[in-house]
Amino acid sequence: MKMAMETRILVIPFPIQGHLNPMLQLSKRLVSKGLKVTLVSTNSSLKPNNIISSIDFEFINDGFDAELNPETFDEYIKCFKVVFPQNLAKFMESRKSLGFPFKFVVYDSGMPWMLDVARDLGMDGAPFFTQSCAVNAVYYHLDQGTLKVPSEGCSVALPSMPLLGSDDLPTLVYETDSRQSLRELIVNQMLNIHEPNWILCNTFDKLEEEVVNWMKIQCQIKAVGPTVPSKYMDKRLENDNDYGLSLFKPYSETCKTWLDSKAINSVVYVSFGSLAAVGEEQMEEIAWGLRRSNSFFLWVVRESESQKLPKNFSEETSDKGLVVSWSPQLEVLAHKSVGCFMTHCGWNSTLEALSLGVPMVAIPQWTDQTTNAKYVEDVWQIGVRVKVNEKGIVTREEIEVCIREVMEGGRSKDFRRNSEKWKELAKEAVDEGGSSDKNLEEFVAAIVST
Chain positions contacting ligand UDP, by CB under 6 A = 17-18, 21, 271, 273-276, 300, 326-327, 329-330, 346-349, 352
Q: Which of 19, 141, 335, 344 is catalytic?
A: 19
Distance CA 214, CA 219 (A): 9
CB of 351 to ligand UDP, least distance (A): 8
Distance CA 280, CA 310 (A): 9
Name which of 125 and 346 has its Cβ closer to ligand UDP.
Answer: 346
Q: Which of 56, 62, 108, 431 is catalytic?
A: 108
Task: Tell me if residue 335 is catalytic.
Answer: no
Name which of 196 and 273 has its Cβ closer to ligand UDP.
Answer: 273
Name which of 17 and 435 has its Cβ closer to ligand UDP.
Answer: 17
Task: Tell me if residue 108 is catalytic.
Answer: yes
Query: Closest Cα to residue 323, out of 266, 251, 273, 223?
Result: 251
Q: Positive or negative, the Cα torsion across 201, 163, 177, 188? A: positive
Residues 6+ apart with CB under 8 A from 307: none
CB of 98 to ligand UDP, least distance (A): 35
Name which of 104 and 129 has its Cβ closer to ligand UDP.
Answer: 129
CB of 88 to ligand UDP, least distance (A): 22
CB of 282 to ligand UDP, least distance (A): 16
CB of 61 to ligand UDP, least distance (A): 23
Distance CA 261, CA 379 (A): 34
Name which of 102 and 299 has its Cβ closer to ligand UDP.
Answer: 299
Name which of 348 and 395 has its Cβ closer to ligand UDP.
Answer: 348
CB of 14 to ligand UDP, least distance (A): 10
Catalytic residue positions, numbered:
19, 108
